[in-house]
Structure formats: C-alpha cells, structure tokens
Amino acid sequence: MKWKKFRIKTRTEAEDIIISSLYDIGLEGAQIEDHVPLTALEKEQMFVDILPDMQEDDGIAYLSFFVEENEAGELLMNGEVTSQDSIVKAVEEELESLKAFMDIGEGSIEIDETEDIDWINNWKQYFKQFYVDDILIIPSWEKVKEEDKGRMIIHIDPGTAFGTGMHETTQLCIRQLKKYVTEDTELLDVGTGSGILSIAALKMGAKHAVGTDLDPCAVPAVEENKEANEIPTDSFDMMIGNIIDDKEIQDTVGYEKYDIVVANILADVLVPLTPVIVNQMKKGGIYITSGIIDNKEETVVNAVKAAGLEVLEVTYQGEWVSVTARKN
C-alpha cells in the first residue's frame, strides 16, 4: 500500500491546534517530530532503561500526515477520491486561518511518498488507558482490568475526534468538573470534540449536557462515545456552529440556563467567547476554561474579570493553565 506524506514545518506550541484543525479536513494520525524534553510520565511509559540522547529543544516541530494512494494513483481521504492539490490547498487555508491568532512558524508543506505504513491505525499502540485521579479513561479496544471495575470508567475512542483526555488541559477541566458538578447540573460544553468533558460530567451525575463545536465530525464522534459509555440519548445534545457570533446557535443553546460552562479551547478564542457566554450562564454559574498556555494566563484572567465574572481558582498542569470563575 502506498501513502502520500504531507509534512508541515511549524512550532512546538502549535502542534496540538494544527493537528486538531487538520483533523477537521480529514487528516488523521499525525506523526510528530520535535525536540521537546520528555516528561517524567513519558519516560516511565517508554519502558527502557537507557533513554536516547535528545537534541536541545529549538522550538521547531514537523507534523506528518499520511493519505492512502490506490493502485490508480488516486488519493483516498475519508473513503473519497481527492487530489494532492486539493489537500495542499485545504491545509494552506487552515494554516492561514491559524496565523490570525497564533504563531505557527514557517508553515511550509513538503510532499513525499512512502509504502506499507498503516498510519491511521498503527498510532493507536501509543494510546493506552490512563487515570485522572480516580477516573479511568480507556480506549475502545482495551479491556478494563478486574481491579479497575469499581472506578468511574470513561470509554473514549481517540480516533473519532480531538480530545482523548490525555492532554493536560482536558485533565485540568475534568478535575474542576469534579468539584462543581451536582445532580442538578445543566452543562454547556463549548468546543466539545469527542465529548469527553460532557461524558465525564454526566458520569459524575450531571442532569444534562449541551455541546457545541465547529467541526461536523464531532456529531458522530459524540454519538459513538455516548453509546460506548451508555449515556442516554436525551442527556447530551450536540449542535454545530460558532456560539461566539452565531445568534441562531446562541438562541438554540439558550440564555441563563447553565450551572456550568466548560470551554477547553485556545486562549485567543476564550477572549471573545467569555463576554458572550456569560449570557448563557445562570447567576451563580461556574465557568471552567483551559487550553491556556502559561504565558496567556493573564490575558484570560483579564477577559474573565472584564466580563464581570469572579475568578475563583487558577490551576496548573505542566505548561497549561485552567481558570475557573463564577457569575455573581
């Protein structure tokens, strides 16, 4: 089997958002090359006694995406025939839109060809079950161990949409949800992705969740993960659209009806989102945000305060920040 390789030169801090954005156009299973030092957890997960020597981190990263090429030389993406030029154009448009609110570096694209690599599925070997405190998050193809059967268990297929829970920002949000979710909670999840945060909240006892996302792929992703976690259909509603500037979405979501709003998205998106989303929150409602790199903490805190919210807590994991606030 032949594969066409699209390799993007970018910056390490832009890796996650580029992978997420390019998933929206059908590119999956990114190969990441960078010189970011390994964390203690990553070193443990390598299961080797002698670690390889790493070059000094220069902030440069390369992201490679692989698209299947059939015997006729046609490229197949999401089961449909496409062309190299179409893919390049779509990637360039996504990268250009990201440049408006973050530094993605050079953003150049190299194209190569390789054979006999199942990049869509082989990457799954690197996604293993893990814990967020007392919660087990496990991919669909792994079995729950006997000793874990008494835990809260969340089944997430990371091949369906961005958001497996392994990223620090998602873990920060889950920990904050544990503090504030009650059996009466109405939750709004902005930037739902795989649905992991809403599913976690519902498993914690929340009454109902509404998710919004820009990516239509989030709808089947959420449905699959709802089914995997035995979430009743009417407990979690999903809609596609930009709640920041789409009045129809704002109206459909509703006003002053949510006990908790959670938004695990970029700091530069949280800034315009926050003054809008306060209208969806009940008085006394909790606003949980993450996706904030540490040098953007002050920007988000200022935006939260400017919207009239009271900052309750700022929490950290690695280089990432979560800001939790309340509407008084």
Give CA–CA dist 297/314, Å, rounded: 9
> Which residue has tokens 């945060």?
197
127 φ, ψ (degrees, to nearest 5): -105, 110
Give 24-28 contacts, CB < 8 A, sequence gap 24+: 24/94, 24/214, 24/215, 24/217, 25/87, 25/90, 25/91, 25/94, 26/77, 26/78, 27/65, 27/67, 27/77, 27/87, 27/91, 28/65, 28/120, 28/159
- What gap in Å lies between CA 304 and CA 277, rounded to an integer? 11
Q: Is 177 exposed, middle or buried (0-12, 13-18, 19+ CB in 10 A)?
A: buried
Q: Which residues contact 128 (CB under 8 A, 6 or more apart)?
A: 45, 139, 142
Q: Tell whether residue 242 is among the known ligand binding residues.
A: no
**Gap between the Cα atoms of 287 and 261, Å rounded:** 5
170 annotated as a binding-site residue:
yes
Per-residue DSSP letter, 265: S
DSSP 48-75: -SSPPP-PPP-SEEEEEEEEEE-TTS-E
User: Is 252 annotated as a binding-site member?
Assistant: no
Angle subtended at Cα 323 by Cα 286 and Cα 209, rounded to the nearest 5 degrees? 40
Whether residue 315 is annotated as binding a ligand: the answer is no
Secondary structure of residue 42 in the 3-state scheme: helix
* Residue list for the binding site: 170, 191, 213, 264
* Residue list for the binding site for S-adenosyl-L-methionine: 170, 191, 213, 264
